[in-house]
Structure 1
Amino acid sequence: MMDRTPRVRRRVAAAACAVALVLPLTTACDALTPGSAAAVPGPRSVPSSTAVPDEKITLRLQFADAPVMVDALIAAFEKEHPSIKVEPQYKTFSDYVQNLKLTMTSDSAPDIAQYAVGMSDLAADGQILDLAPYREAYGWDKAIPPVSLDQLTAGRTSEATGGRALFGVPAGLSMTGIYYNKKLAARAGIDSPPRTLAEFEEQLAAAKKANMTPLGVGALDSGGIHLWAALLNQTMPTDDYWDWINGAKGATIKKPAATNASETVIEWGRKGYYNKSANGTAQVDSTAQFTKGDSVFLINGNWAAGQLATAMGDNVGFFPMPGERASDRTVASGFSVSYAISSRTEHPEAAGVFLDFLTSPEAGQIISDNGFLPPNPKAVTKPKGVLADIAEGHRRAVADHGITTFPDFAAPGMLDRLRSGIQKLIADRVGPADYLGSLQDEWEEHHAQ
């Protein structure tokens, strides 16, 4: 969750088309023909060919994050592959997620779409293609960290290769954390990032005592979710968290760790640590306010780093939310701006060429320049300033196996429950038990199906 300004089919049909799973896309029966309005009965794979098509092709790319980065990637790709035109279709995040299933099952589905919550269900229904054959043909395992690919398997085995399935390719990795204004921090007597969560709370208190707003939060859309998740990451075992995200039988968010994280959100609000209009402020606006010196700290993700570095230069730093002990591993929410290929595309090979370009050094530099972490950091110029802080934090989190996905991935309808629930926590209008119960109700409604 980045910057967000915000089947079952008839047995006869399934049997008649079963061979399509092992044949090239163009030889599939009518019900599996790319672009067909008929539904697809199960997971399908791309062909293994990496040949660049000779004819002129237009690919439609629908996405919800990082439009400036996407435009730059498209321009560089089209320069290298002039026969393939990529038409961007930007949607706000809330609209994109709410309409994702309808979009990907319609006759006008885009050729390529940003991977988002709900894609696992679409993968199971065969609405997006298993990219495992491309992963092997292009060698993506060598260019992309395993943790980033593992988040895109939808928990499935590839019918084409027998190994892990793959339903997306990253075009920039992300993590959330805390930005800080160095000059304002110094005025509050803060001279270094905190080593523990308790130290961070002491710094928030120091900022408040110095008559400054301690923490900027854009809770109108997703900033509040990042705050709660950052606290949850420091208290809840990652295995328990992943079980809940992945819908493991018996998993629950109603645990003491989640209660503690929720109580902390409430307590910080009672102490006046947030900007007064946090619930009415969008994440992008909280970032703009931070550049003007409206708060000492800001909760956000690395997608804001380019904007902050440009506006604040060396006056901005970054650190992952610290753990309860200085020796705790680094754990942070993160995912990637990743892209999937629609089963309805008529140009899977051209779409594969575009996805492979995203793993190239040229694309990696564009990704890095826009504040995201390239899949292969060794292929780009060493970052400086706040970008270097983020790269180091991400390196530690990856080494500690501490990158967790965003909590809205637990169920397609979870985003609204999280957003409204955390706003109520910030405003001290709901208790942890009722808030967590609401999340679990949404989880059970989805995973009981």
Structure 2
Amino acid sequence: MTMASRKAKFVAAGTIGIALLIAGCTPGTAKPTPSDQSSATGGEVSTAVPSDPVTLTLAFTDNPEMTDALAAAFHEKYPQVTIETQFTQFADYVKSLRLSMSSDSAPDIAQYNAALKDLSAAGLVVDLTDYENAYGWDTKFPKSALDMLRVDETGKILGTGSLIAVPGGLSLVGLYYNKDLMEQAGISAPPTSVDELTVDLEKAKAAGITGLSLGGLDYGSLHAWAGLMNSMTNTSDWRDWINGKGGADIVTADAIAATTLFADWAKKGYFPESANGTTEADSAVAFAKGDGLFLVDGNWDAAAIGETMGDNVGFTVFPPNSNSNKAVGTGFSVSYMISSKSENQAAAAAFLDFLSSPEAAVIESNGGFLPPNAKAAPPATGIQADLKAANETIVSDDGLTPFPDFAAPAMLDSLTSGLQQVVAGRMEPKEFLESLQKVWTAYHGG
């Protein structure tokens, strides 16, 4: 699996997809009128699945096997509804969907991407708020996962306003650990706080073991730094900054402390010397081969790591600032929205509701995702059992946070290059944060 497809498969709505926004065409300003049959823009909506035969089209780019399985399972439950899936390669998906959603042949359902959040402001996707209320999605899906799929009327600020998509499978970044190397370093259990993690990294160094396998050439440093930001800063303020809420500022004492700790880890030699020249994918391979006590990475690498390491690998949430803190982890979801031009919005909304079902949870788990209905995830062993437990913890603590590059279309480049400078000791933590705030302000305003 290529790096691009791997990231796209599991969360890269922001990490890669948002960069494609520039390539996409700008949607028109005319706001199509949804079908009178089931408008979800202000009023009661029906949760009854139409009894007459209905065919829905579903445009998507991630995991064809899982998407086709979800469509087939929904059809089995509701034989009168057929879902025809339309796959597009990730590199072409954002541009292609922009064109199709503004055309007369828009799909009924489409996979959401953070680069497409402004489709709501153009009136091209359904405001799902009424369906959320009718179906009780606030009790079926994690609040933090739903909030990532809300956007204000400008189409720029996330976490507030209209619900425009529903999650069909979550991703989560956490801490992988090598059990044999832990024993060699004299560590009895995975860390449960940032302080313990720092102590464990020093123990690894003393034992001649690489503390943290890191791929800073692309996303590895971002994941590790974001883990510290999740744990050491105010979660609400951190989410506000990522979501683009007015007045948000990343240059805070807590953020400086988190970034300073990340820089200290680099200075003390807890990372490989080649970290800035190594990709995230290669750092995962190195970790699986025994080069590194820890790895900060997502569930998308769990299957390959588990296949190589077997029972020698474990996974846990990135440790909070202290043992008493709630768990917070970076992640996103493969999610789906409804076209405002669809003539079968009630049936489409029923499919979105199906994504929270026990049947869907099995399919989502088999597809490599963490089901939004965490308690319905099928039994698992090894690393998959660890992922299941971590997902349940994050969902219970409402601790899912968006990827930091969601903050602005140009943020990914600034994060990647800036963290490389921090790792190399060529940029001070406060200077790095100020550079991010400059990009944020350029997009959202002062």
1:6-405 matches, cutoff 5 A: 20=33, 23-24=36-37, 48=46, 50-52=48-50, 57=55, 59-64=57-62, 66=63, 69-70=66-67, 72-74=69-71, 76-77=73-74, 83-92=82-91, 99=95, 102=98, 106-107=102-103, 111-155=108-152, 165-345=162-342, 348-405=345-402
Q: Is the 8 A contact 2:112 2:165 kept in 1?
A: yes
- For 1:59, what is the secondary structure of its paired residue? strand
* TM-score normalised per structure 2: 0.80
* TM-score normalised per structure 1: 0.80
Q: Is the 8 A contact 1:50 1:134 kept in 2?
A: no
Provide the rounded CA distance (Å) in 2 between the counterparts of 1:210 and 1:237.
Answer: 34
Provide the rounded CA distance (Å) in 2 between the counterparts of 1:411 and 1:105.
Answer: 23
Deviation at 1:443, TM superposition (A): 1.2
Q: Residues 78-121 of structure 1, C-alpha deviation per residue, up to 9 Å, x if partnerless?
A: 666573221222305xx767x58855765376543333324443
Deviation at 1:217, TM superposition (A): 2.2
Q: Residues 309-346 of structure 1, C-alpha deviation per residue, up to 9 Å, x if partnerless?
A: 33333221112222332222222222222122233556
Q: Is the 8 A contact 1:45 1:131 kept in 2?
A: no
Deviation at 1:256, TM superposition (A): 1.6
Provide the rounded CA distance (Å) in 2 between the counterparts of 1:52 and 1:109.
Answer: 20
Provide the rounded CA distance (Å) in 2 between the counterparts of 1:337 and 1:185.
Answer: 34
Size of the aligned set, in residue pairs, is 418
Q: Compare 43-52 and 239-248 and name the one that shifted more.
A: 43-52
Provide the rounded CA distance (Å) in 1 between the counterparts of 2:369 and 2:418.
Answer: 29
Deviation at 1:362, TM superposition (A): 1.9
- For 1:129, what is the secondary structure of its paired residue? coil
The letter of the residue matching 2:178 is N
Q: Is the 8 A contact 1:240 1:251 kept in 2?
A: yes
Q: Is the 8 A contact 1:112 1:342 kept in 2?
A: yes
Distance 1:296 1:337, change over 3 A: same
Deviation at 1:172, TM superposition (A): 1.4
Q: Compare 244-253 and 43-52 and name the one that shifted more.
A: 43-52
Q: Is the 8 A contact 1:188 1:207 kept in 2?
A: yes
1:399-414 matches, cutoff 5 A: 399-414=396-411
Distance 1:382 1:216, change over 3 A: same
The letter of the residue matching 2:337 is A
The letter of the residue matching 2:262 is V
Provide the rounded CA distance (Å) in 2 between the counterparts of 1:182 and 1:337.
Answer: 31
Cα RMSD over matched residues?
3.5
Q: Is the 8 A contact 2:35 2:341 kept in 1?
A: no
The letter of the residue matching 1:62 is F
Work out which of the residue numbers 421, 426, 432 in structure 2 matches 1:424.
421
- For 1:300, what is the secondary structure of its paired residue? strand
The letter of the residue matching 2:217 is L
Distance 1:367 1:280, change over 3 A: farther
Q: Is the 8 A contact 2:374 2:391 kept in 1?
A: no
Q: Is the 8 A contact 2:27 2:102 kept in 1?
A: no
